[in-house]
């Protein structure tokens, strides 16, 4: 089947580099997504991400098997036919709520690291922004509107039945070629034309011909991506298990590595659970887990002379933070937790104490633990992957003046060891499934007495001071965001289980 003949004369559009971006505040821009707003033309990595995060490894394998068929249809039949195959393989039978969850919590991080700088220069300069894309609208709309400031997003519409995607597309079909031009006419009418059109291929020419000015974007992965901090809204919270965008080669490596990684994770977890704590540090290194220790942690307390325990205040990277602190100290130190799975509590080699988020209940519980010895606490209350620190709860500052800040950073190359949408009991397994994960712990100087509540400082000042101290040592940015904010963004809830946080 031959491709349909081009209905428009092939124009010679100038490159986007020649587009003047100043004085465009009252202009409207219409841009394609893949290969235009994004550097790469292929949207396969994002279909694969959605398949894995919302459907699991078997759905991902199905997409991989379908991708060669989609590629053949794309090149020898039409772009629309190829997209239909990917849509069916990715979304057939999937809950719409799961698709929206991935689009909200997972995809924006990966989209933001693939932005084309030249396109963004023009797109961001215009007062009204519109995007036309062959991708399913449900998959891209959150990123385009919330992080790029798009006013209108027109994409392929998925057919649904009783809250699930059927795998087919709704009328008028896949939004490519002439369908893009028709969608633009419907949105703006025949009497008014957008000021700027941006595209990267002949399939974009129909809608580009409707614009007053049109420019071609040179799509190439060799183009340096836009620095993500130049986007209107920083991406502080994101979810998903995969660290890198899943190219076909990376997907193959992930699939082949999972059985090996799972076995390796079990061995590493067993070493942490059953070996004496003074040996865990060396066992981790022997098993490929890198543990870097900076600073000088304080020695164990001496109950015989009436010493109370030290409260280690650390930023929260994964559920394993207290375990690695104990490995660095060479002794077991209890940890207070806000909400972890029962499996994690059972597998933990150290004592964990679940807080209720009720001040009247939690205060005496923590004070009793400090009377018995040292204690680990993460006052953020939840993990954050990006170089930001969430607001520190001030409760810890009211309990003791023996405060030691601990700055923690982690490195993972394949899987994230944290999750907001998934089963948190698997978090330690995913962390240890990385080929060579790393933990860096920096024990900072104990707070001087005059900087504590006992020295006359308000508890919120003490909490803010420690937050700034840890952030400064890591070159992170302090925020006032909380656990509620994280779960509201990623899951649409406050992240609570049985107990509700105090207001």
Predicted pLDDT at 497: 37
pLDDT at 201: 84
Same domain, yes or no, for 328 and 446? yes
115 and 205 belong to one structural domain: yes
Residue stretches of the chain with pLDDT short of 50: 1-8, 494-503
CB 267 within 8 A of CB 429: no
Residues 91, 40 within the same domain: yes
In the prediction, which pLDDT does 71 show? 87
H/E stretch holding 285 reads: helix 277-286
Same domain, 287 and 341: yes
Contact 422, 102 (CB under 8 A): no
The CATH number that applies at residue 272 is 3.40.1130
Q: How many CB atoms lie within 10 A of CB 491?
A: 16
> Does residue 327 share a domain with residue 207?
no
Report the pLDDT value the prediction gives residue 11, as an integer from 0 to 100.
66
Residues 186 and 316 in one domain: no
Query: How far is it, in rounded angstroms, from Cα 169 to Cα 174?
Result: 7
pLDDT value at position 367? Answer: 83
Are both 78 and 192 inside the same structural domain? yes
Domain that holds residue 216: 16-223
Q: Is residue 11 part of a domain?
A: no
Which candidate, 401, 396, 274, 249, places its Cα nearest to that of 347?
274
The verdict on 219 and 265 lying in the same domain is no
With beta carbons less than 8 A apart as the criterion, state whether 34 and 143 touch. no
Answer yes or no: is 246 within a domain.
no
User: 425-453: per-residue pLDDT in tens?
Assistant: 889 999 999 999 999 999 999 999 898 88
Q: Which residues, 6+ apart, have CB-to-CB distance to 82 below 8 Å?
A: 70, 71, 72, 73, 74, 75
CA distance 139 to 90: 11
Question: How many Cβ atoms sit within 10 Å of the Cβ of residue 413?
Answer: 11
* Residue 13: per-residue pLDDT: 86
Same domain assignment for residues 314 and 389: yes
Question: Which CATH number characterizes residue 197's domain?
Answer: 3.40.50.1000
Predicted TM-score of the model (pTM): 0.87
* Nearest to 323, CA basis, from 344, 305, 302, 348: 348
Last residue of a domain, one of 223, 253, 282: 223
- Angle of helix 44-55 relative to helix 57-76, nearest 10 degrees? 160
Asked, for residue 73, whether it belongs to a domain, the answer is yes
Which structure tokens are listed for 501?
Answer: 């946080």
Question: Residue 502: its pLDDT value, please?
Answer: 39
Residue 201 shares a structural domain with residue 317: no
In a domain, 232, yes or no: no
- Domain check: are 317 and 371 in the same one? yes
297, 404 contact by CB (below 8 A): yes
For the chain, the domain total comes to: 2
Last residue of a domain, one of 223, 246, 269: 223
The pLDDT, as a whole number, for residue 6 is 44
Bridge-based pairing state of the strands 438-443 and 403-411: antiparallel
Residues 276 and 168 in one domain: no
Last residue of a domain, one of 171, 198, 223: 223
State both tokens at 480.
Answer: 């006032």
């Amino acid at each position: 089947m031959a491709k349909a003949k081009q209905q428009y004369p092939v124009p010679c559009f100038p490159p986007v580099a020649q587009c003047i971006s100043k004085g465009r505040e009252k202009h409207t821009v219409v841009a394609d997504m893949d290969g235009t707003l994004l550097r790469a033309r292929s949207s396969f990595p994002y279909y694969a991400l959605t398949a894995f995060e919302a459907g699991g490894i078997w759905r991902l394998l199905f997409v991989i098997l379908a991708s060669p068929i989609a590629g053949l249809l794309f090149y020898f039949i039409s772009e629309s036919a190829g997209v239909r195959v990917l849509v069916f393989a990715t979304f057939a039978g999937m809950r719409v709520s799961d698709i929206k969850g991935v689009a909200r919590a997972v995809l924006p991080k990966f989209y933001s690291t693939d932005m084309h700088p030249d396109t963004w220069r023009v797109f961001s300069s215009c007062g009204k922004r519109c995007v036309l894309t062959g991708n399913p609208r449900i998959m891209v709309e959150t990123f385009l509107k919330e992080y790029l400031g798009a006013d209108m997003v027109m994409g392929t519409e998925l057919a649904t039945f009783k809250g699930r995607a059927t795998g087919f597309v709704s009328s008028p079909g896949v939004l490519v070629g002439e369908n893009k031009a028709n969608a633009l006419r419907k949105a703006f009418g025949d009497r008014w034309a957008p000021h700027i059109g941006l595209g990267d291929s002949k399939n974009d020419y129909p809608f580009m011909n409707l614009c007053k000015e049109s420019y071609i974007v040179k799509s190439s992965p060799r183009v340096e991506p836009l620095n993500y901090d130049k986007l209107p809204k920083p991406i502080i919270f994101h979810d998903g298990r995969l660290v890198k965008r899943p190219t076909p080669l990376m997907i193959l490596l992930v699939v082949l590595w999972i059985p090996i990684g799972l076995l390796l994770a079990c061995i590493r977890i067993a070493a942490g659970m059953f070996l004496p704590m003074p040996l865990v540090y060396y066992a981790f290194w022997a098993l490929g887990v890198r543990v870097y220790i900076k600073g000088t942690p304080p020695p164990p307390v001496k109950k015989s002379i009436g010493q109370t325990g030290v409260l280690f205040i650390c930023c929260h990277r994964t559920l394993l933070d207290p375990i690695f602190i104990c490995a660095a100290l060479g002794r077991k130190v209890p940890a207070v937790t806000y909400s972890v799975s029962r499996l994690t509590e059972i597998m933990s080699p150290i004592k964990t104490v679940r807080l209720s988020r009720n001040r009247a209940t939690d205060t005496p519980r923590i004070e009793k633990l400090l009377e018995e010895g040292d204690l680990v606490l993460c006052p953020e209350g939840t993990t954050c992957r990006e170089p930001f620190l969430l607001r520190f709860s001030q409760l810890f500052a009211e309990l003791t003046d023996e405060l030691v800040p601990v700055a923690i950073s982690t490195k993972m190359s394949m899987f994230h060891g944290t999750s907001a949408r998934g089963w948190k009991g698997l978090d330690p397994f995913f962390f240890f499934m990385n080929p060579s994960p790393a933990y860096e712990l920096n024990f900072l100087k104990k707070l001087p007495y005059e900087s504590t509540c006992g020295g006359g400082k308000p508890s919120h000042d003490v909490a803010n001071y420690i937050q700034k101290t840890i952030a400064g040592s890591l070159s992170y940015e302090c925020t006032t965001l909380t656990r509620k904010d994280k779960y509201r963004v990623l899951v649409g809830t406050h992240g609570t289980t049985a107990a509700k946080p105090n207001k």
